[in-house]
Protein backbone atom coordinates (compact mmCIF):
# COMPACT_ATOMS: atom_id res chain seq x y z
CA UNK A 1 0.00 0.00 0.00
CA UNK A 2 1.35 3.41 -0.98
CA UNK A 3 1.50 6.17 1.65
CA UNK A 4 2.55 9.79 1.74
CA UNK A 5 4.88 9.19 4.67
CA UNK A 6 8.55 9.95 4.17
CA UNK A 7 10.83 7.04 5.07
CA UNK A 8 12.95 7.83 8.10
CA UNK A 9 16.12 7.19 6.07
CA UNK A 10 15.13 9.98 3.69
CA UNK A 11 14.94 12.61 6.42
CA UNK A 12 18.04 14.74 6.56
CA UNK A 13 18.86 14.48 10.27
CA UNK A 14 21.87 16.61 11.22
CA UNK A 15 24.91 14.90 12.66
CA UNK A 16 25.25 17.09 15.75
CA UNK A 17 28.54 15.51 16.77
CA UNK A 18 30.07 16.36 13.39
CA UNK A 19 28.62 19.89 13.47
CA UNK A 20 30.06 20.43 16.95
CA UNK A 21 33.46 19.15 15.80
CA UNK A 22 33.46 21.55 12.86
CA UNK A 23 32.38 24.41 15.12
CA UNK A 24 35.27 23.65 17.48
CA UNK A 25 37.83 23.56 14.64
CA UNK A 26 36.48 26.74 13.06
CA UNK A 27 36.35 28.69 16.34
CA UNK A 28 39.78 27.46 17.41
CA UNK A 29 41.16 28.65 14.07
CA UNK A 30 39.51 32.06 14.54
CA UNK A 31 41.11 32.46 17.96
CA UNK A 32 44.55 31.33 16.77
CA UNK A 33 44.51 33.69 13.77
CA UNK A 34 43.41 36.71 15.79
CA UNK A 35 45.87 36.01 18.59
CA UNK A 36 48.72 35.52 16.10
CA UNK A 37 47.82 38.82 14.42
CA UNK A 38 47.73 40.90 17.61
CA UNK A 39 50.98 39.35 18.87
CA UNK A 40 52.72 40.20 15.59
CA UNK A 41 51.25 43.70 15.53
CA UNK A 42 52.22 44.37 19.14
CA UNK A 43 55.74 43.14 18.46
CA UNK A 44 56.12 45.56 15.53
CA UNK A 45 54.95 48.67 17.37
CA UNK A 46 56.95 47.77 20.49
CA UNK A 47 60.07 48.57 18.43
CA UNK A 48 58.82 52.17 18.47
CA UNK A 49 58.07 52.08 22.17
CA UNK A 50 54.30 52.25 21.71
CA UNK A 51 51.20 50.09 21.54
CA UNK A 52 49.21 49.65 18.31
CA UNK A 53 47.00 52.65 17.54
CA UNK A 54 43.87 53.01 15.46
CA UNK A 55 45.79 53.59 12.23
CA UNK A 56 47.90 50.46 12.80
CA UNK A 57 44.77 48.39 13.30
CA UNK A 58 43.03 49.77 10.21
CA UNK A 59 46.18 49.03 8.21
CA UNK A 60 46.21 45.48 9.60
CA UNK A 61 42.48 44.91 8.91
CA UNK A 62 41.88 47.11 5.83
CA UNK A 63 38.51 45.67 4.78
CA UNK A 64 36.81 45.33 8.19
CA UNK A 65 33.13 46.26 7.82
CA UNK A 66 31.38 46.31 11.15
CA UNK A 67 27.59 46.16 11.28
CA UNK A 68 26.53 47.97 14.47
CA UNK A 69 24.20 46.27 16.89
CA UNK A 70 23.01 49.62 18.26
CA UNK A 71 21.98 52.47 15.99
CA UNK A 72 24.10 54.79 18.17
CA UNK A 73 27.25 52.94 17.07
CA UNK A 74 26.72 54.16 13.50
CA UNK A 75 27.82 57.56 14.76
CA UNK A 76 31.22 56.19 15.78
CA UNK A 77 33.61 56.15 12.83
CA UNK A 78 35.76 53.05 12.66
CA UNK A 79 34.20 51.58 15.83
CA UNK A 80 35.90 48.19 15.44
CA UNK A 81 39.39 49.68 15.20
CA UNK A 82 38.72 52.28 17.90
CA UNK A 83 37.71 49.53 20.32
CA UNK A 84 40.78 47.40 19.60
CA UNK A 85 43.04 50.45 19.96
CA UNK A 86 41.40 51.16 23.33
CA UNK A 87 42.07 47.58 24.47
CA UNK A 88 45.74 47.85 23.46
CA UNK A 89 46.09 51.14 25.32
CA UNK A 90 44.26 49.82 28.36
CA UNK A 91 45.93 46.40 28.70
CA UNK A 92 49.22 46.73 26.75
CA UNK A 93 49.67 42.94 26.49
CA UNK A 94 48.39 41.18 23.32
CA UNK A 95 47.20 38.17 25.34
CA UNK A 96 45.03 40.46 27.46
CA UNK A 97 43.76 42.17 24.30
CA UNK A 98 42.77 38.80 22.86
CA UNK A 99 41.05 37.78 26.12
CA UNK A 100 39.00 40.99 26.15
CA UNK A 101 38.24 40.63 22.42
CA UNK A 102 36.95 37.12 23.19
CA UNK A 103 34.96 38.18 26.26
CA UNK A 104 33.41 41.13 24.39
CA UNK A 105 32.16 39.01 21.50
CA UNK A 106 28.57 37.93 20.93
CA UNK A 107 26.53 36.11 18.32
CA UNK A 108 23.56 38.21 17.22
CA UNK A 109 20.87 36.19 15.51
CA UNK A 110 18.08 37.70 13.47
CA UNK A 111 14.60 37.39 14.89
CA UNK A 112 13.19 33.86 14.50
CA UNK A 113 16.39 32.58 12.87
CA UNK A 114 17.54 29.16 14.06
CA UNK A 115 20.81 27.28 14.02
CA UNK A 116 21.31 23.53 14.05
CA UNK A 117 23.80 23.64 16.91
CA UNK A 118 22.50 24.78 20.29
CA UNK A 119 23.79 28.37 20.81
CA UNK A 120 24.81 27.46 24.36
CA UNK A 121 27.25 24.91 22.93
CA UNK A 122 28.66 27.50 20.54
CA UNK A 123 29.19 29.90 23.44
CA UNK A 124 30.96 27.21 25.46
CA UNK A 125 33.27 26.37 22.55
CA UNK A 126 34.01 30.06 22.05
CA UNK A 127 34.89 30.48 25.72
CA UNK A 128 37.28 27.51 25.85
CA UNK A 129 38.14 27.09 22.17
CA UNK A 130 41.89 27.46 22.54
CA UNK A 131 44.18 25.68 25.00
CA UNK A 132 46.84 27.12 27.31
CA UNK A 133 49.50 25.23 25.36
CA UNK A 134 48.32 26.89 22.13
CA UNK A 135 48.56 30.31 23.79
CA UNK A 136 52.03 29.51 25.12
CA UNK A 137 53.29 28.37 21.71
CA UNK A 138 51.93 31.46 19.95
CA UNK A 139 53.29 33.85 22.57
CA UNK A 140 56.76 32.34 22.51
CA UNK A 141 57.09 31.85 18.74
CA UNK A 142 56.12 35.16 17.12
CA UNK A 143 56.81 35.78 13.45
CA UNK A 144 60.00 37.63 12.60
CA UNK A 145 59.32 41.35 12.19
CA UNK A 146 60.01 42.56 8.66
CA UNK A 147 59.26 46.18 7.84
CA UNK A 148 59.89 45.48 4.15
CA UNK A 149 56.67 43.46 4.05
CA UNK A 150 53.13 44.85 4.32
CA UNK A 151 50.96 42.41 6.25
CA UNK A 152 47.17 42.66 6.00
CA UNK A 153 44.61 40.31 7.55
CA UNK A 154 41.00 39.16 7.19
CA UNK A 155 40.94 40.62 3.69
CA UNK A 156 37.66 40.46 1.79
CA UNK A 157 38.06 40.33 -1.99
CA UNK A 158 35.52 39.86 -4.78
CA UNK A 159 36.36 38.48 -8.21
CA UNK A 160 33.66 38.81 -10.88
CA UNK A 161 34.62 36.09 -13.33
CA UNK A 162 33.26 36.12 -16.86
CA UNK A 163 32.70 32.54 -18.01
CA UNK A 164 29.66 31.28 -19.95
CA UNK A 165 27.79 33.04 -17.16
CA UNK A 166 29.15 35.66 -14.81
CA UNK A 167 30.26 34.17 -11.52
CA UNK A 168 30.95 36.27 -8.44
CA UNK A 169 33.59 34.76 -6.16
CA UNK A 170 34.04 36.33 -2.71
CA UNK A 171 37.10 35.35 -0.69
CA UNK A 172 37.99 35.95 2.95
CA UNK A 173 41.78 35.72 3.02
CA UNK A 174 43.48 35.11 6.36
CA UNK A 175 46.76 36.95 5.69
CA UNK A 176 48.43 38.60 2.69
CA UNK A 177 52.15 39.44 2.74
CA UNK A 178 53.25 42.02 0.15
CA UNK A 179 57.04 42.47 -0.13
CA UNK A 180 58.56 45.86 -0.82
CA UNK A 181 60.75 44.24 -3.50
CA UNK A 182 58.46 44.03 -6.59
CA UNK A 183 60.43 41.03 -7.91
CA UNK A 184 59.30 38.92 -4.95
CA UNK A 185 55.89 37.23 -5.07
CA UNK A 186 52.96 38.16 -2.86
CA UNK A 187 52.17 35.42 -0.35
CA UNK A 188 48.71 34.30 0.73
CA UNK A 189 48.75 32.64 4.14
CA UNK A 190 45.85 30.33 5.02
CA UNK A 191 45.97 29.26 8.67
CA UNK A 192 45.51 25.55 9.22
CA UNK A 193 45.91 23.54 12.41
CA UNK A 194 44.36 20.23 11.35
CA UNK A 195 44.73 17.41 8.87
CA UNK A 196 44.40 19.75 5.85
CA UNK A 197 48.14 20.40 6.13
CA UNK A 198 48.92 16.80 5.14
CA UNK A 199 45.95 16.11 2.88
CA UNK A 200 45.60 18.83 0.23
CA UNK A 201 42.62 17.81 -1.90
CA UNK A 202 41.30 19.05 -5.26
CA UNK A 203 38.79 21.41 -3.65
CA UNK A 204 41.60 22.94 -1.54
CA UNK A 205 43.61 23.64 -4.69
CA UNK A 206 40.59 25.21 -6.38
CA UNK A 207 40.12 27.51 -3.39
CA UNK A 208 43.84 28.41 -3.48
CA UNK A 209 43.63 29.15 -7.21
CA UNK A 210 40.56 31.37 -6.96
CA UNK A 211 41.98 33.29 -4.01
CA UNK A 212 45.29 33.74 -5.84
CA UNK A 213 43.57 35.00 -8.99
CA UNK A 214 41.47 37.42 -6.95
CA UNK A 215 44.51 38.76 -5.08
CA UNK A 216 46.46 39.08 -8.33
CA UNK A 217 43.87 41.25 -10.08
CA UNK A 218 42.99 43.22 -6.94
CA UNK A 219 46.51 43.79 -5.60
CA UNK A 220 49.13 43.67 -8.32
CA UNK A 221 48.62 47.28 -9.43
CA UNK A 222 48.48 48.53 -5.84
CA UNK A 223 52.04 47.56 -4.96
CA UNK A 224 53.32 50.95 -6.10
CA UNK A 225 50.70 52.65 -3.89
CA UNK A 226 52.14 51.42 -0.60
CA UNK A 227 53.74 53.84 1.85
CA UNK A 228 57.03 52.28 2.95
CA UNK A 229 57.55 54.79 5.75
CA UNK A 230 60.24 52.86 7.55
CA UNK A 231 63.91 53.24 6.80
CA UNK A 232 66.71 51.42 8.56
CA UNK A 233 67.17 54.52 10.74
CA UNK A 234 63.49 54.55 11.72
CA UNK A 235 63.58 50.90 12.70
CA UNK A 236 66.36 51.46 15.23
CA UNK A 237 65.03 54.64 16.87
CA UNK A 238 62.08 54.01 19.16
CA UNK A 239 61.17 57.63 19.80
CA UNK A 240 59.46 58.17 16.44
CA UNK A 241 55.69 57.72 16.22
CA UNK A 242 55.62 56.75 12.57
CA UNK A 243 53.16 54.62 10.64
CA UNK A 244 53.72 51.02 9.70
CA UNK A 245 53.74 50.26 5.94
CA UNK A 246 50.26 50.94 4.57
CA UNK A 247 48.23 51.54 1.43
CA UNK A 248 48.05 55.14 0.28
CA UNK A 249 44.47 56.32 0.66
CA UNK A 250 42.64 59.50 1.55
CA UNK A 251 41.16 58.21 4.78
CA UNK A 252 41.68 55.26 7.08
CA UNK A 253 38.24 55.74 8.60
CA UNK A 254 36.53 53.74 5.86
CA UNK A 255 37.32 50.17 4.80
CA UNK A 256 39.10 49.47 1.54
CA UNK A 257 37.34 47.62 -1.27
CA UNK A 258 39.00 44.95 -3.37
CA UNK A 259 36.52 44.23 -6.14
CA UNK A 260 37.45 43.48 -9.74
CA UNK A 261 36.12 41.83 -12.92
CA UNK A 262 38.01 39.70 -15.41
CA UNK A 263 37.08 37.61 -18.44
CA UNK A 264 37.77 33.90 -18.17
CA UNK A 265 39.81 33.84 -21.37
CA UNK A 266 42.10 36.59 -20.08
CA UNK A 267 42.52 34.74 -16.78
CA UNK A 268 43.68 31.65 -18.68
CA UNK A 269 46.20 33.78 -20.58
CA UNK A 270 47.48 35.20 -17.29
CA UNK A 271 47.86 31.88 -15.45
CA UNK A 272 51.65 31.73 -15.66
CA UNK A 273 51.98 35.34 -14.51
CA UNK A 274 49.58 34.69 -11.63
CA UNK A 275 51.56 31.66 -10.45
CA UNK A 276 54.79 33.66 -10.58
CA UNK A 277 53.30 36.63 -8.75
CA UNK A 278 51.12 34.95 -6.10
CA UNK A 279 52.16 32.07 -3.84
CA UNK A 280 49.65 30.27 -1.63
CA UNK A 281 50.67 28.64 1.65
CA UNK A 282 49.07 26.69 4.46
CA UNK A 283 50.61 27.74 7.77
CA UNK A 284 50.28 26.28 11.25
CA UNK A 285 51.33 29.01 13.72
CA UNK A 286 51.31 26.50 16.59
CA UNK A 287 54.23 24.47 15.26
CA UNK A 288 55.53 26.78 12.52
CA UNK A 289 54.86 24.28 9.72
CA UNK A 290 54.38 25.90 6.29
CA UNK A 291 53.37 24.14 3.06
CA UNK A 292 53.06 25.64 -0.41
CA UNK A 293 49.88 24.73 -2.28
CA UNK A 294 50.36 24.04 -6.00
CA UNK A 295 47.20 25.34 -7.67
CA UNK A 296 48.50 25.58 -11.24
CA UNK A 297 47.98 21.88 -11.93
CA UNK A 298 44.19 22.24 -11.61
CA UNK A 299 43.68 25.85 -12.75
CA UNK A 300 42.28 25.35 -16.26
CA UNK A 301 40.24 22.28 -15.35
CA UNK A 302 38.67 24.04 -12.37
CA UNK A 303 37.49 26.92 -14.57
CA UNK A 304 35.58 24.49 -16.78
CA UNK A 305 34.01 22.88 -13.70
CA UNK A 306 33.05 26.27 -12.27
CA UNK A 307 31.43 27.17 -15.58
CA UNK A 308 29.45 23.90 -15.51
CA UNK A 309 28.37 24.58 -11.93
CA UNK A 310 27.22 28.04 -12.96
CA UNK A 311 25.00 26.52 -15.61
CA UNK A 312 23.65 23.94 -13.14
CA UNK A 313 22.67 26.57 -10.57
CA UNK A 314 21.15 28.79 -13.26
CA UNK A 315 18.85 26.08 -14.60
CA UNK A 316 17.95 24.75 -11.14
CA UNK A 317 17.83 28.03 -9.24
CA UNK A 318 14.15 27.69 -8.30
CA UNK A 319 14.69 24.25 -6.79
CA UNK A 320 17.79 25.43 -4.93
CA UNK A 321 16.10 28.33 -3.13
CA UNK A 322 15.09 26.22 -0.16
CA UNK A 323 15.89 27.87 3.18
CA UNK A 324 19.19 26.68 4.58
CA UNK A 325 19.62 27.05 8.32
CA UNK A 326 23.26 27.55 9.38
CA UNK A 327 24.97 24.80 11.36
CA UNK A 328 26.33 27.39 13.79
CA UNK A 329 27.24 31.07 13.90
CA UNK A 330 30.70 32.15 15.03
CA UNK A 331 30.61 34.92 17.67
CA UNK A 332 31.97 38.30 16.59
CA UNK A 333 33.62 41.16 18.42
CA UNK A 334 31.15 43.81 19.64
CA UNK A 335 32.87 47.22 19.98
CA UNK A 336 29.77 48.46 21.84
CA UNK A 337 30.84 46.45 24.86
CA UNK A 338 34.11 48.38 24.93
CA UNK A 339 33.05 51.85 23.75
CA UNK A 340 29.50 52.04 25.15
CA UNK A 341 29.39 49.79 28.19
CA UNK A 342 26.55 51.76 29.78
CA UNK A 343 24.33 51.29 26.73
CA UNK A 344 25.17 47.70 25.90
CA UNK A 345 22.27 45.32 26.33
CA UNK A 346 23.31 41.72 26.98
CA UNK A 347 19.99 40.58 25.58
CA UNK A 348 21.34 41.42 22.13
CA UNK A 349 23.01 38.00 22.11
CA UNK A 350 21.17 34.88 21.04
CA UNK A 351 17.53 35.39 20.18
CA UNK A 352 17.22 32.23 18.11
CA UNK A 353 17.06 28.63 19.27
CA UNK A 354 18.33 25.30 18.15
CA UNK A 355 16.30 23.68 15.39
CA UNK A 356 14.29 20.62 16.31
CA UNK A 357 14.20 17.59 14.03
CA UNK A 358 11.62 14.88 14.47
Q: What is the pLDDT of residues 166-179, one digit of tens each?
A: 888 899 999 999 99
User: According to the per-residue pLDDT averaged within each range, which of 70-84, 323-337, 344-358 is highest?
Assistant: 323-337
Whole-prediction pTM = 0.85
CA distance 32 to 209: 24
CA distance 65 to 328: 21
pLDDT confidence bin for 354, thresholds 50/70/90 = very low
> Is the model's pLDDT at 110 over the cut of 60?
no
Say which residues have a Cβ less than 8 Å from residue 53's Cβ, sequence separation at least 6: 45, 85, 88
> Is the model's pLDDT at 210 over the cut of 90?
yes
Say which residues have a Cβ less than 8 Å from residue 30's Cβ, sequence separation at least 6: 129, 330
> Is the model's pLDDT at 147 over the cut of 60?
yes
pLDDT at 16: 81
Using an 8 Å Cβ cutoff, are 63 and 255 in contact? yes
Q: Give the number of other CB atoms < 10 A from CB of residue 356.
A: 6
> Is the model's pLDDT at 226 over the cut of 80?
yes
pLDDT at 97: 96
69 vs 62 pLDDT, higher one: 62
Which range (43-47, 118-122, 200-204, 314-318) has the least confidence?
Answer: 314-318
317 vs 177 pLDDT, higher one: 177
pLDDT at 2: 44
Which range (107-116, 132-141, 168-177) has the least confidence?
Answer: 107-116
CA distance 318 to 316: 6
pLDDT at 346: 52
pLDDT at 5: 43
Which range (92-96, 126-130, 209-213) has the least confidence?
Answer: 126-130
CA distance 262 to 159: 7
Which range (69-73, 207-211, 239-243, 333-337) has the least confidence?
Answer: 69-73
Give Dmax over CA atoms of the chain in angstroms: 87
Mean pLDDT (the chain, rounded): 82
> Is the model's pLDDT at 4 over the cut of 50?
no
* Residue 292, beta-bridge partner list: 281
pLDDT confidence bin for 144, thresholds 50/70/90 = confident
pLDDT confidence bin for 218, thresholds 50/70/90 = very high
Amino acid sequence: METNEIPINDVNIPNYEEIERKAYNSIRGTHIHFLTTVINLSQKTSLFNRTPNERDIRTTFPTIRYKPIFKETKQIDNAYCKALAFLFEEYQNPISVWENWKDNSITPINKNQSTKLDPAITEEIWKYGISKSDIHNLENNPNKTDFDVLEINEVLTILNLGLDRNVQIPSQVDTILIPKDPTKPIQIIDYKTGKEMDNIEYVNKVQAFLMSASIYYNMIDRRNKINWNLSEWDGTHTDKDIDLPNFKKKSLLHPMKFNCSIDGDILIEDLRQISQSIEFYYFNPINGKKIKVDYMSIAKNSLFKISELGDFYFYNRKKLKAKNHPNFLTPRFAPERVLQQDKFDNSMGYTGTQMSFI
